[in-house]
Structures are given as structure tokens and as C-alpha cells.
Amino acid sequence: MPKNLGGSFYATTPIFYVNDAPHIGHAYTEVAADVLTRWHRQRGENAFLLTGTDEHGEKVLRTAAANKVEPQAWVDQLVHDAWLPMLNTLDVDNQDFIRTTEPRHERNVQRFLQLVHDNGFIYRGEFVGKYCVGCEEYKTEGDLVEGTGEFAGQDVCAIHSKPVENLNETNYFFKLSEFEQPLLDFYAANPNFIQPDSARNEVVSFVRRGLEDLSISRSKEKFDWGVDIPWDDTHITYVWFDALLNYITAIGFGEDDAESREKFEQYWPASVHVVGKDILRFHAVIWPAMLMAAGLELPKQIFGHGWLLVGGEKMSKSKLTGIAPNQITDIFGSDAFRYYFMKAIAFGSDGSFSWEDLTARYTSELANGFGNLASRSLAMIQRYFDGVIPSAGFYNEDDLEIQKIAGDAAVAADAAIEAVAIHEAIAQVWTLVDALNNYITVQEPWVLAKDEAKRDRLATVLYTCAEGLRVLAVLLAPVIPKATGKLWAALASGSLGELADQSLVEVANWGQLPAGSSIGELEPLFPRIEQDEK
């Protein structure tokens, strides 16, 4: 099944800009990376998830000034009051949280810069161009549109719809143009490096049009909230050049101790950087070029997922489409949040959020589909066998078909995760949910229970249901950890150990639940939602 048993898996989210509180667009990325990491850990790999916050740059400085606080106090408050609580709200099991204002990051950004400078890829020059503070990005004419309303007649950022600033500065430049052909060669040799294919095609097309050298510093005369250029303390590092390095500074790059070196060797190159498509070029063009300049290996994959749309617009606080994660989790719970966004939207494509769709899927798929399957199966074991898992007898074709569906679902879901198709993985697992619900309808265990002569058949049917639930609990644990934890506690924790210790590789090996073991009380997995609560 897996290709990397016993190896390491290192996934990252972007580090998010802390000029405001998070919305569900940020949460979407966090949950996706968490599901991937949990899955690989359940496969037996040494899985590590990194997330964090990007805290330097002009936008943070201006936002802090507007709120009449120092920038460090501003980012400290947001991280502790909003960003870290979001991870708890969503049950994200990250192994590290990197902040770009931490000494471990800042000192190793400087070491990386010095290395690239010493390798001859940084020079001093004049920059004349346009800059969007909202994006913290230098803009070309193709990135701009004509403004409307109060900005009519001005060049505005196509993303933020606000005017860009004209810069004329003496800065340090990274020789990005020298990596045009090396990048194209790498993309050709590694077709899965950028995924999905639409993202790969966009990046290849962009690089083929030609790359310009990148300004990577700002004079402290302009603003001073950033990492000092190590050979010139009158300049600070361009925020993106600083931020991208978090992927290696968090796992020990630049440190001298043996433990840090061992950690870096264990996890680098990263298995996958999960990013939104709006920051794809930074990760698929600038970041690999930076690594090439430093003589470091490139990550194995950059996956650019689509946007979350509300009312047809990309999720954004500035455009008033932002929805806080807890607005959903307070009503539906974290599992429903995780399931909905991972299942309802094809990962890699844009997707629309609506309260109506979330409510409908919660009711039909989670409550009536999975939740009801679990509750009635365990209730019948409780009623007909005094809460003791019965011993299966002869398996007929219907029973064997359930076993086949379980095996096929496990293999197909794993293949989907390998392809970072999280939605497809859940859909494959759900074939077993649907099959078991249909199986119960066809087998009618409540009818079998009325005939003592059919007690062996009843035992086989209910054992099949219990085993199917065991498989589902393991396969769905990376997606809906709370509900599967409750199910596991009632079904199998007393006989098979902890859910986290169950192997995805062996999940479909039938007959793992020991007959004669007792089940416990099952808490409601997905309680009914009152329509007027929203």
C-alpha cells in the first residue's frame, strides 16, 4: 500500500500573515495539511506538520501603528488570541508553530542570506517599480488593473483593488533570472513537483516568459520591521525572502548542534508544501530558486489548492467575505467543519461555501449516514447480544462483498491521499458507509432476531457491521478525529488499544475485533442541529 513505510513525512502550511484574525480560508489550508499528516502518521510514517505566522513587513507595521501599539505587541496579541486558538478549534495536530520574529528563525535567515551572498547570487542595485503593501509583493504591469470608484484612473492591485505604490530605491537583489532554465529543467524532470496540473502549467508558462531579478531588501529609512541584512544593517530583508525560509529554519537549518542537524536531515526535503494558489509563484518559482542558490535540495511537491468563495468572491477580510472558523464550529463542531471542507470541495479547485450546503451535508452524510450507522449497529449488539461482540459464522456473498468494499476503499483512499486528492479519499471511504447502511437494510437484523434458528446469521451480520465500523473509525480518524475517537472508545479501545495505534496498512484485514469483547456506551457523534441556531 504505502511507498514510504517507516520513513518521514513533512508537510507545511504557509505561515499566515498576522495583520488580522484568521478566516475559514486559512482554516481550510490548516485542516488539509493536518489530514494529510495524520494519514501518513497512521500509515506508520514519522509525520511532522509545521504551521506558523509571518510577522514582519510593512503591512504589519502599518496595522500596528493604526492600532497605536508596537508591532511586536500587535503580533503577540494576534498569535495568542486568534491564531493559536484556531488550531485548537479545528483539532489541528501540528508538531511545531514557527513565528518569524523568533530568534531561531531570524538568525538562520541571516545565515541563509550570507550563504547565498557568498555564492554570488546577491548584488546591490537600483529598484524602480510598483509595490502592493497588501500583498507585500512587487508588481508588474500585468498584475495591475484600472481602478474604479475612488481609485478611478489609478493602477490598483488586481487582488486587493487598492492603489500600488511607486518605489525608487537602492536595494539588494537576488539573481532570480539566472534560475530560469534550471527551474524549467527541474519542472520537466519532476512533473509532480507542482500540482495540480493546472498550477504546474501556470507556473511553467510564467517562467518561460522570463524572470527578472528580485529586490530582497528595503532601506531602514523606509521602515525597519524585519530581519537585518547580515552584511548591511541599514537594510532589512524583503518579507517574502524571510518568510519562505521558515520551512527550513523550523527544522534546524543553520544550527550547529547535532540534534538540529539530525532533525534537518530527517525531514528535509519537505514532502509537500500546501499553499493557496494566490501564493503559488512565490513557492514554485522564488523558493526553489533560493534553495538552488544555497545548494540545498528542493521540496518534493508544491500543492496549490483553490480559493474558498463566498457569494462568488474569494474569502477575504478586506472584502467583508471573511467568516471566522468558530462561527461554524460553535454550531456544527470541528469534525463537521473538517469533513465538509475536505469532502465538498475538490482539493486543488475553487469551491463555494454556503450554510445551506453545510447543513444539508451535516444532516444527510454525517448524522444520518455515518452517525446513524454507528449508533444503530452498536444498539443492536447491545440489545441482541447484551453488549458483547458476537462471533461470526459462515460468510455469505453479501458479507464477503462488504469485506471487499472495505479493502477496496482502503486501497483507493490511500492512493488518493498520495495524489493529495483528499476529497476523493473521503469519497472512497464513504462507499463503505453507504454499503453498510444498505447491508443493514437488506439483512434486516431486527427480523433475524425474532427467529432463534437464525441467531448464527444475526451474529454474522452484526459482527460484519462492527468490523465495518472498526475499518471506518481508522480510515476516517485523520478527517473526523473526535467522532472516530468516540466510536473507537465504545467499539474497540478495550480490546484493540488506542485508535492512533491502528495501522492503515492492515486496516482492511478482516476479523480484528475479538468476538466476546464488550462494547461501551456510544456518545452521539453528530447531534441534531436546530435550524434556528445559525
The residues annotated as belonging to the active site are 23, 26, 132, 135, 157, 160, 314, 317
Q: Which residues pair with 194 in a beta bridge?
A: 302
Return the C-alpha cell found at 216.
Answer: 530582497
Provide the 8-state DSSP code for 364. Answer: I
β-sheet bridge partners, residue 236 = 218, 228
Q: Which of 262, 249, 238, 251 is nearest to 104 (CA)?
A: 249
Q: How far apart, in whole angstroms, are the C-alpha atoms of residue 512 and residue 481? A: 21
Residue type for 339, please?
Answer: Y
DSSP-based three-state secondary structure for 266? helix
| CA nearest neighbour of 464 among 361, 372, 393, 411 | 393
Strands 165-174 and 313-314: unpaired
- Angle, vertex CA 477, rays to CA 5 and CA 350, nearest 5: 95
**Nearest 5°: CA angle at 496, between 491 and 499?**
75
Closest CA to 336 of 359, 308, 319: 359
Helix or strand (DSSP H, E) at 512: none
End-to-end CA distance of the chain: give it in Å, rounded. 42
| Peptide bond connecting 524 to the previous residue in cis, omega within 30 degrees of 0 | no
In angstroms, the CA 97 to CA 115 distance is 25
- Other Cβ atoms closer than 10 A to 88: 9
Per-residue buried b or exposed e for 292-311, using 16+ beta carbons within 10 Å of the residue's own CB: bbbebebbebbbbbbbbbbe
Burial class (CB in 10 A: 0-12, 13-18, 19+), 334: buried
> Residues near 269 by Cβ (< 8 Å), separated by ≥ 6?
10, 297, 298, 299, 300
State the residue for C-alpha cell 542537524.
261
- Cα–Cα distance, 517 to 415 (Å, whole number): 33
Q: Count of residues for the chain?
A: 534
H or E element that contains 351: strand 351-352
Q: How far is residue 41's CA from residue 470's CA, in Å, rounded to a whole number?
A: 18
Q: Which of 60, 110, 103, 102 is nearest to 235 (CA)?
A: 110
Give me the amino acid identity at 244.
L
How many whole angstroms separate alpha carbon 297 and alpha carbon 431?
A: 40
Chain centroid to Cα 168, Å, comes to 38
Q: CA nearest 87: which of 329, 315, 431, 277?
A: 329
